[in-house]
């Protein structure tokens, strides 16, 4: 008899965005005429930049010629891309990285989901709440979560609530933790941490021998000067933090797939006897067994982002989505809702009106305005009573959706 991994039975039946898809599909079947505007999953709508397409095509052409054809690529990714990442994403911030500290991958989602594999099963994991569900669910699948209590919290995890009451800034954990997932600019609340607030976490991790898993997938959306773009801007963060970045949201790679993860050589973990091991080497060891790299044309496409033209084009993409964010924020404020995020992030986090629960508000918007968002509770128990709207839509749809919501009476 084949036994399943019973940890999977501890998961909610559906991944949040799959659940939304099911509900929208059902609604659309029953209401084929409805012009539904999707502002749920943070999926981009603008095409890839021209500079990206040019390099993408170039890469494809090279694969068709005997002289330039490529088989398996280097495990960590091609140096031509890693070099650009180091020189253009990190050096301007005063951060020096070694070529062996950057790992090109097919997404920040798989990397943030897989990273827990290199840590002991007894590691205590802390997550902000609400949180990108991948961090929680990957640890549940691995067996670190235990049962879910009636508040919707896994008893094996440490939850750090982020709500209106604390301005969405998580408090340091009250009990010792080993792994801390932080995502800034935050998904889903759209809020950011200042340098001082982030430094508090780095200090905590240094004092408590913890590792911070820092998801910076939305870094390109930071507009305010003094907000840190990388955790390594904080002194000695390389001793305690792994950083995840992605080309999905800044350059429209959600369907193309390319990202990278930085694992500094300073990072150390221990075996049960207290012997130190390099986390960089462990992550490399994992990926040599489980991964054969991102395709050559896709890495070429990602290289295109770093050309002068590519840099201009991605700035324009971000500007476009941030204009939508401003429209959403303003429209929702105008109808009297409490609105967060949307300033340094493409996500707008709304307190639902009249204490409606998240799914109730979801149903209301779907049924009455044909607008889809994401119920806050889908990101964790502290998300109950909140709702996320993404700015990743066309300007036209954003305006239309806001007009429809503004015409509702709550």
Which residues form the interface with ligand MLT (CB under 6 A)?
A: 41-43, 109, 132, 187
Minimum separation from the CB atom of position 188 to ligand MLT (A): 6
**What Cα–Cα distance (Å) separates residue 68 from each residue in 51, 64, 82, 214, 301?**
21, 8, 20, 37, 16
Smallest distance, Å, CB 372 to ligand MLT? Answer: 12
- To ligand MLT, the closest distance from the beta carbon of 103 in angstroms equals 18
Beta carbon of residue 109, minimum distance to ligand MLT (angstroms, whole number): 4
Task: Give the alpha-carbon dihedral of 137, 40, 249, 391, to 10 degrees.
Answer: -140
- Of 264 and 383, CB closest to ligand MLT: 383
- Tokens matching residue 357: 């629960």
- Residue 281: count other Cβ atoms within 10 Å of its Cβ: 14
Cβ proximity to ligand MLT: between 41 and 326 the closer is: 41
- Separation between Cα atoms, residue 354 and residue 336, nearest integer Å: 11
Q: State the minimum distance, in angstroms, from the CB of residue 79 to ligand MLT.
A: 27
CB nearer ligand MLT, residue 43 or residue 62: 43
Q: For ligand MLT, which is the closer residue by CB, 238 or 245?
A: 245
- Cis omega (within 30 of 0) on the bond before 188? yes
Task: Give the pair of three-digit tokens for residue 291.
Answer: 């991964």
In the complex, the smallest distance separating the C-beta of residue 248 from ligand MLT, rounded to whole angstroms, is: 6
Q: CA-CA distances (angstroms) from residue 397 to 37, 91, 245? A: 7, 38, 28
Q: Which is nearer to ligand MLT, 23 or 109 (CB)?
A: 109
Closest by CA position to 180, among listed 188, 171, 189: 171
Residue 371, φ and ψ in degrees, nearest 5: -120, 135
Written as six digits, the tokens of 258 are: 């390319």
DSSP structure string for 250-318: HH--TTT--EEEE--TT-EEE-TT--EEEHHHHHHHHHHHH-----HHHHHHHHHTTSHHHHHHHHHHH
Q: Give, rounded to a whole angstrom, the gap between the first and last alpha carbons of the chain.
A: 54
Of all residues in this chain, which one has the CB nearest to ligand MLT in the complex? Answer: 42
Nearer to ligand MLT, 244 or 283 (CB): 244
The candidate with the shortest Cα–Cα distance to 384, out of 349, 332, 340, 333, is: 349
Rg (CA), the chain: 21
As measured in angstroms, the least distance from the Cβ of 9 to ligand MLT is: 23
Residues belonging to the chain: 410
Tell me the C-alpha distance between 315 and 49, whole Å.
Answer: 10
Please identify, using beta-carbon distances, which residue of 41 and 335 lies nearer to ligand MLT: 41
Which one, 113 or 264, has the nearer CB to ligand MLT?
113
User: 86 or 294, CB closer to ligand MLT?
Assistant: 294
Query: What is the C-alpha separation between 21 and 25, in angstroms, rounded?
Result: 6
CB of 107 to ligand MLT, least distance (A): 8
Q: How far is the CB of 170 from ligand MLT (least distance, A)?
A: 18
């Amino acid at each position: 008899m084949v036994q399943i991994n019973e940890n999977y039975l501890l998961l909610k039946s559906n991944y949040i965005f799959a659940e939304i898809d099911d509900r929208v599909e059902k609604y659309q079947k029953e209401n084929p005429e409805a012009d539904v505007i999707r502002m749920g999953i943070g999926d981009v709508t603008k095409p890839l930049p021209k500079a990206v397409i040019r390099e993408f095509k170039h890469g494809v052409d090279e694969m068709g010629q005997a002289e330039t054809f490529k088989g398996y690529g280097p495990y960590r990714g091609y140096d031509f891309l890693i070099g650009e990442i180091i020189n253009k994403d990190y050096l301007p911030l005063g951060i020096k990285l070694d070529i062996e500290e950057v790992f090109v991958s097919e997404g920040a989602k798989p990397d943030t989901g897989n990273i827990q594999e290199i840590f002991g099963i007894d590691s205590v994991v802390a997550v902000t709440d609400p949180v990108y569900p991948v961090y929680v669910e990957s640890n549940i699948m691995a067996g670190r979560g235990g049962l879910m209590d009636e508040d919707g919290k896994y008893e094996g995890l440490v939850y750090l609530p982020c709500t209106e009451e604390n301005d969405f800034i998580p408090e340091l954990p009250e009990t010792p933790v080993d792994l801390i997932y932080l995502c800034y600019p935050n998904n889903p609340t759209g809020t950011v941490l200042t340098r001082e607030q982030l430094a508090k976490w780095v200090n905590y991790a240094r004092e408590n021998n913890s590792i911070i898993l820092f998801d910076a997938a939305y870094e390109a959306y930071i507009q305010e000067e003094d907000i840190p773009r990388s955790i390594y801007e904080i002194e000695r963060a390389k001793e305690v933090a792994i950083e995840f970045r992605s080309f999905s949201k800044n350059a429209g790679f959600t369907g193309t797939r390319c990202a990278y993860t930085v694992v500094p050589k300073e990072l150390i973990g221990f075996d049960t006897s207290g012997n130190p091991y390099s986390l960089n080497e462990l992550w490399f060891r994992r990926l040599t067994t489980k991964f054969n790299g991102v395709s050559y044309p896709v890495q070429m496409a990602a290289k295109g982002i770093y050309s002068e033209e590519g840099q201009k084009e991605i700035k324009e993409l971000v500007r476009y989505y941030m204009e939508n964010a401003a429209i959403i924020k303003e429209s929702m404020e105008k109808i009297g809702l409490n609105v967060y995020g949307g300033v340094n992030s493409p996500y707008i986090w709304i307190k639902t009106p009249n204490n409606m629960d998240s799914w109730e508000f979801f149903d209301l918007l779907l049924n009455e305005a044909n607008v889809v968002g994401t119920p806050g509770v889908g990101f964790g128990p502290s998300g109950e009573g909140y709702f996320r709207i993404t700015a990743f839509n066309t300007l036209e749809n954003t305006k239309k959706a806001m007009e429809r919501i503004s015409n509702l009476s709550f």
